[in-house]
A and B are shown apart, each in its own frame.
Chain A
Amino acid sequence: MHRRDIFVAADNVFSPLGTTTAENFANLKQGITAVRPHHDPNISPQPFFASLFGKDEPLIEKPGDYTRFEQLLIASVKDALLQCDVKPEDPKTILIVSSTKGNISLLETEEFSPTLQERISLNTSARLVAKHFGFINKPVVISNACVSGVMAIVTGMRLLRTGHYEHAVIAGADVISAFILSGFQSFQALSPGVCKPFDKTRDGLNLGEGAGTMILSASACYKDHPRVKGGGISNDANHISGPSRTGKELSYAINQSLKDAELDAGDLDFISAHGTATPYNDEMEANAISLSGLGSVPLNSLKAHYGHTLGAAGMIESIISVRSMEESTILPTIGFNEKGVTKPVSICTSLRQTKVRNVLKTASGFGGCNAAVVFGK
């Protein structure tokens, strides 16, 4: 049976490193990080390192009653829509939103009530964003920890493959507030400086805020664009807050994504890893990548540029991977100095100009979830 090809029609990264994908990519190429020391008693009694927007920085022209989370989604979706002919009001267009905590910061300032309950709900935010742009179809919302963004892309790809829709506008965002920060602090998961993915002295992650939007289309208008070729998802069935000891399950998700893409390990030219810079995550990922026979494929992590943007991470890092492919440019892993994982992995340490045919994006998160997606030309 012939399967439809799914193309990346347009995208946007809206982060402290820039408001367009091009601006983000230019800053990444220059090795710029948005992770900085902050001391804001409203968010945390202790100083911390994170990638944050300026507190008073307006994200959209007319913020109205939109929360910062919704403003991020709107800003990102707006820019992506401007670059293609996909129409929100088309009955064949679906909006997919991914986030871990959405409007949870409202708990910090408002009294809990049924009204607040609905204002916090991701359903409300998705509906407001859909209404803002005039989407007709009921939006799909995914909240599955740190793999939400990759899952949203895989879900969108499938909804187009089956012909349920022609276009999918997929947007992920998260905002960092005291709720999230205090939780990661309680886990002692935060690095006291800029994080160091896969490094011998890595000591935890940084948090980051941002949004990413990827517009997928099955329309032949975009046939010269990069494609999303396959996806895979698995569960560790091991621990709710610690990754698998072996990496076998992430490896399974990677293999599933390659099978779905009808590709072999040798067809991959680049891996955009999750690389949170926690001791356990990076070790598990290196195990998985090695198990899948990808130890010699160039790999990077963008976490020292953006921090961990949670429900946006899979979106932002996928979009940057696609841009890497288009520009034949593999970005280095800033923060990395000396290999600190036991299995062989090929970590990029300098900017490389090379042909990239296919790229793998991986993610893992709390609840034992793993996800992988493959993009290609």
Chain B
Amino acid sequence: MCQGIIRRNNELVFEGEHTDPASFFLSVYRDLGFSYPKFHKMDNLCKLGWLASEVLLKDDFDLGRYEPEEIGLVLANHNSSLDDDTRYWETAKEAASPSLFVYTLPNIVIGEICIRNNFKGEHVFYIQQDFDADFIANQVNYLIDNNILQACICGWMDVLGAEYKASLFLVEKQEGGQSVPFSAENMNAIFKAI
């Protein structure tokens, strides 16, 4: 999900105008027919991550196959929550807004996705200079190989000012019909193609 375009398994899901992130996220939300009132309270990073996870999981992900504790997230970005941090600090000079302050942590987006899907497993948010697919793959493999998780959403989501990019991968221990082997190379190729 980047520059007005959303792709899923290499298919175009949505193409909109390259407007500011908030307007773009709202047009995606409306066009794809989502109904989740909490969405409107979220900051841009959470909107981006929430929409990307909804697109990732739509149609063929069978949540019922797993216990809540068997699904987790391993995410990373460059700018942490700086997009919301700057907005919060603008208000804090006059009157600090708790509804903006709560989003001044990058892992809040993990909380939002967990609340939406009732995921209760292990999760972590890393800050990286650039998307480090090798490191992410190692972390996810540890969780899957040690049966800490049976399914994991991993990848990148970053937003600052006018720029945004999300690239998410669903990794399952059990091989599915359309699945491809999980590797840093595959993640990198997809990440760089968008």
Contacts and interface: CB of A to CB of B under 8 A. Distances in A.
Interface string A133-166: 0000010111111000001000100100010100
Q: Specify which of B117, B125, B135 lies most central, judged by the most chain A CB atoms within 10 Å of its CB.
A: B125
Contacts of B117: 237
Given A101-B104, A117-B82, A367-B107, A183 B92 contact: yes
B115 interface: yes
Interface string B90-115: 00100111100110111110111011
Interface of A: 100-102, 104, 107-108, 112, 117, 120-123, 126-127, 138, 140-145, 151, 155, 158, 162, 164, 178-179, 182-183, 185-187, 232-241, 249, 252, 256, 366-369
A237 to B, nearest CB: 4
Contacts of A104: 85, 104
B126 A140 contact: yes
B111 A368 contact: yes
Contacts of B112: 240
Interface of B: 68-69, 72, 78-80, 82, 85-86, 88-89, 92, 95-98, 101-102, 104-108, 110-112, 114-115, 117-129, 132, 135, 138-139, 142, 148, 160
A108 B122 contact: no
Q: Specify which of A120, A143, A178 lies most central, judged by the most chain B CB atoms within 10 Å of its CB.
A: A143
B111 A369 contact: yes
Contacts of A126: 127
Contacts of A120: 82
A183 B104 contact: yes
16 contacts: A108-B89, A112-B86, A121-B82, A123-B78, A143-B105, A143-B125, A145-B108, A164-B138, A179-B89, A183-B104, A187-B98, A241-B98, A366-B107, A366-B108, A367-B110, A369-B107
A104 B108 CA distance: 17
Contacts of B121: 234-235
Given A179-B89, A183-B92, A123 B120 contact: no
Nearest to B102: A241
A256 B120 CA distance: 13
A112 B160 CA distance: 12
Contact of B115 (A101, A112, A237): A237
Q: Is the interface of A mostly helix, strand, loop or mixed?
A: mixed
Given A117-B82, A120-B82, A162-B142, A235 B105 contact: no
A296 to B, nearest CB: 26
Nearest to A179: B89
A310 B89 CA distance: 19
B126 A186 contact: no
Q: Is the interface of B mostly helix, strand, loop or mixed?
A: mixed
A197 B139 CA distance: 35
A164 B148 CA distance: 19
Nearest to B41: A240
Given A102-B80, A143-B107, A369-B107, 19 more contacts: A107-B86, A121-B80, A121-B127, A122-B80, A126-B127, A138-B132, A141-B126, A144-B107, A155-B139, A179-B92, A182-B96, A183-B101, A183-B104, A187-B102, A233-B124, A234-B69, A237-B111, A240-B112, A369-B111
Contact of B114 (A127, A182, A236): A236
A252 B115 CA distance: 17
Nearest to B138: A164
Q: Specify which of B97, B108, B114, B148 lies most central, judged by the most chain A CB atoms within 10 Å of its CB.
A: B114
A73 to B, nearest CB: 14
A252 to B, nearest CB: 6
A186 B114 contact: no
Contacts of B124: 142, 144, 151, 155, 233
A212 to B, nearest CB: 19
Contacts of A145: 105, 107-108
A368 B115 contact: yes
A252 B111 contact: no
A123 B108 CA distance: 19
Contacts of A117: 79, 82, 160
A178 B111 contact: no
Contact of A107 (B68, B89, B132, B148): B89
A249 B105 CA distance: 20
Given A140-B135, A183-B96, A233-B122, A238 B115 contact: yes
B85 A121 contact: no
B68 A237 contact: yes
A187 B88 CA distance: 13
Given A239-B115, A369-B107, A369-B123, A252 B101 contact: no
A108 B93 CA distance: 9
Nearest to A248: B120
